[in-house]
């Protein structure tokens, strides 16, 4: 974790919403006083000449941005084992992963170093670590939070997202960083509601959907039991629970792992030893490119660049990338149909299992399946969050709440109610 020695002495306005509150940022969010190296040797020592919009918003709100946190290299990973600076350990059990790719930010909150931290989400990289570490993690609607200054992985999927020790911390963090930014072409200009005003609101009239595709027969029955307990607690507070269907859910992982690597291949082409980061010598210009990229990128990033380059290549673009975008539209339509039917929020597991041991998952496909319940929200651009719902063999696991586009308020209303209803049960 990189720390800014001067941050603690920065003046703050006592009336600001985050006055004096220490906040940590993932290594792919630009700051001018600390490295923005994305957990990669190709950017070793790189300090950005400008700061991200979210960094500026935090400072304007009085926050002390005092540390940068480790991450899977270029945000490509589900365990935080793929950083050039070594793995992050889960404070709940140091022999286990904290989740990825924003595992460093999750660990900072779980260890009590900060109450609020920012990460990034491309396929579940905040919600999955939040589940593994017993935290609240919120991915807003695509376009709700500016991405200016977030180092791009997959531009149509990337979000800046928030960790909080509790729901209220995450609500406050999102409140501060949300809003329009003309420097981000995907940023949406619409009012930001008061998310904290949702605390304590009654659930009468709220319809909660239970998507059957997120509860397959192969899912650990203990996860199902905890989700059903959470649904029962919401029902006891006046919510209505309905079974619903999102029929194209099983296509999310193959679609995600075509679109994300394709966009990564394009975005990471700029890291060539000429404009950014470390340069390695080689035989001529082509040799320099090859040496820089082969020694600068780790194996997981290399794997995804190669996959992405392949699906974008002549003769394969239509068969893979274009087809994946068409199926992505079907996944988005599934959510639209469910919300149009009168359902306000969905409740699912965040992850199929609790945190696994460091080194326990070596097969890339098995690792990718950790995103099976989270990637859909990134593909559809809808807001989603993870809230602690209980323990399995002493390890935390989260309930995922998903709402319609720009309806984070309803999602927070359900999250506050669930946190209140479960109480200590969420951590036992």
Known catalytic residues are 26, 101, 125
Residue-wise burial string across 39-67, b where 16 or more C-beta atoms lie within 10 A, e elsewhere: bbbbbeebebeebbbbbbbbbebbbbbbb
Quote the crossing angle between the two packed helices 408-422 and 167-177, to the nearest 10°.
Answer: 160
User: Tokens for 132?
Assistant: 């593994």
* Contact call for residues 134 and 175 (beta carbons, < 8 A): no
**Cross-strand pairs, 399:** 349, 387
**Cross-strand pairs, 242:** 209
* Contact call for residues 60 and 156 (beta carbons, < 8 A): no
Nearest to 122 by CA among 174, 73, 52, 165: 73
Q: What is the total residue count of the chain?
A: 428
- Euclidean distance between the first and final Cα of the chain, in Å? 29
CA atoms of 362 and 351, how far apart (whole Å): 18
Nearest to 114 by CA among 53, 67, 79: 67
Query: For 246, which DSSP code?
Result: -
**Cross-strand pairs, 23:** 65, 116
CA 239 to chain centre: 27
User: Tokens for 180?
Assistant: 């329009």
Quote the crossing angle between the two packed helices 221-236 and 408-422, to the nearest 10°.
Answer: 100
């Amino acid at each position: 974790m990189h720390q800014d020695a001067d941050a603690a002495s920065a003046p703050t306005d006592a009336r600001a919403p985050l006055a004096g509150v220490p906040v940590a940022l993932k290594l792919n969010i630009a700051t001018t006083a600390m490295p923005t190296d994305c957990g990669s040797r190709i950017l070793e020592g790189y300090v950005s000449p400008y700061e991200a919009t979210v960094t500026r918003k935090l400072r304007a709100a009085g926050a002390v941005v005092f540390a940068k946190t480790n991450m899977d290299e270029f945000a490509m990973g589900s365990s935080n084992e793929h950083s050039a600076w070594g793995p992050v350990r889960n404070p709940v059990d140091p022999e286990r992963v904290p989740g990825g790719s924003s595992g460093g930010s999750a660990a900072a909150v779980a260890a009590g170093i900060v109450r609020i931290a920012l990460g990034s989400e491309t396929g579940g990289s905040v919600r999955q670590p939040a589940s593994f570490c017993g935290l609240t993690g919120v991915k807003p609607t695509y376009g709700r939070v500016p991405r200016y200054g977030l180092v791009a992985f997959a531009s149509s999927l990337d979000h800046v997202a928030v960790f909080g020790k509790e729901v209220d911390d995450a609500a406050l963090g999102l409140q501060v960083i949300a809003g329009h930014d003309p420097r981000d072409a995907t940023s949406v200009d619409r009012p930001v509601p008061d998310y904290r005003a949702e605390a304590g609101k009654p659930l009468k009239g709220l319809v909660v959907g239970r998507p059957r595709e997120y509860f397959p027969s192969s899912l650990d029955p203990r996860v199902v039991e905890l989700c059903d307990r959470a649904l029962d607690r919401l029902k006891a507070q006046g919510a209505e629970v309905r079974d619903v269907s999102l029929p194209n859910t099983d296509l999310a992982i193959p679609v995600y792992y075509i679109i994300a690597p394709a966009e990564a291949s394009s975005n990471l082409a700029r890291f060539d030893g000429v404009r950014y980061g470390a340069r390695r010598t080689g035989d001529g210009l082509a040799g320099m490119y090859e040496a820089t990229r082969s020694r600068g990128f780790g194996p997981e990033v290399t794997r995804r660049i190669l996959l992405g380059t392949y699906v974008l290549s002549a003769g394969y673009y239509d068969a893979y990338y274009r087809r994946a975008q068409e199926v992505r539209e079907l996944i988005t339509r599934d959510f639209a149909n469910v919300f149009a039917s009168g359902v306000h929020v969905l409740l699912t597991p965040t992850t199929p299992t609790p945190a696994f041991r460091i080194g326990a998952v070596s097969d890339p496909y098995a690792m990718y399946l950790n995103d099976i319940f989270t990637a859909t929200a990134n593909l559809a651009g809808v807001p989603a969050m993870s809230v602690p719902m209980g323990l399995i063999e002493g390890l935390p696991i989260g309930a995922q709440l998903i709402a319609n586009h720009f309806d984070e308020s309803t999602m927070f209303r359900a999250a506050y109610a669930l946190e209140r209803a479960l109480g200590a049960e969420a951590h036992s």
